Amino acid sequence: MSYRNAIWDFDGTLYDTYPVMLEALLTVYARHQVPVQAEALYRLIKQQSIKVALRQLAQTTGVGFETLDRQYHELEQQTQLTPQPYVGAAAILAKVSQRGQNFLLTHRDQAAQTYLAQQGLSQYFTEIVTSQQAFARKPAPDSLLYLCQKYDLKPTETVMIGDRALDVEAGINAGVQSVYFDVDHLPIAVQPTVTIHQLSELLPLFE
């Protein structure tokens, strides 16, 4: 098994952004006086999504989802200032660049580019797909298919790498390979091509 191209998720895969994301979400819950356990909320946003958590909060409080979503994103942007990449991120990005190409898919705007630049990692990416391009969200394969078609990426040599089931599903839906970065040891129902627990485990896959 040997790959050339990596399509990366950002949050929870390349960068350890979830602690700040969780704290912002907990603050929104507290603001609306809804008690919630941090561990349970973390599992919910990892196994499903922050939008699912906010929709549940909207149903509980009667506050509009759009209002809650705006409150969350304002808090997260104010506090997510210098997120750090996971150990081994720079090494595997450099390794992939030697053989093929790195791409990034993120629901964020240009903030992801800023975070990468802070650590000198933006140089490794051929293209970064952000929310500004308005592709359907994963697990829809639209953004992956766009990259595969634009750069003539072979499905057998291209892998989607992410920390949630929807990343794996997006890879499967696009017909490429998939890696589940199981940093929290959380089971998922879908079957990835490969499961890893630290980024260094990817190095042999790009030999």
Q: Which two tokens stand for residue 32?
A: 């609306």
Q: Which two tokens stand for residue 102?
A: 């790195």
Order of strands, sheet of 125-129, starting from the edge strand that comes earlier in the sequence: 125-129, 102-105, 5-9, 158-162, 177-181, 194-196
Q: Which two tokens stand for residue 13?
A: 């895969």
Instruction: Indicate the pTM of the whole model.
Output: 0.94
Q: Are strands 125-129 and 177-181 parallel, antiparallel or unpaired?
A: unpaired
Answer whether 116's CB lies under 8 Å from 82's CB.
no
Angle, in degrees to the nearest 10, between helices 65-79 and 18-31:
130
User: What per-residue confidence (pLDDT) applies to 188?
Assistant: 93
Q: Give the amino acid at 128.
A: I
Q: Give the amino acid at 117.
A: A
Would you place residue 201 in the very low, low, confident or very high pLDDT band (cuts 50, 70, 90)? very high
CA-to-CA distance for 144 and 72, rounded, in angstroms?
27
> CA distances (Å), 69 to each of 24, 51, 72, 131, 197, in order?
11, 8, 5, 15, 31
Q: Which two tokens stand for residue 111?
A: 């903030």
CA-to-CA distance for 70 and 185, rounded, in angstroms?
30
pLDDT per residue over 80-106, tens digit each?
A: 999 999 999 999 999 999 999 999 999
The mean pLDDT value of the chain amounts to 96
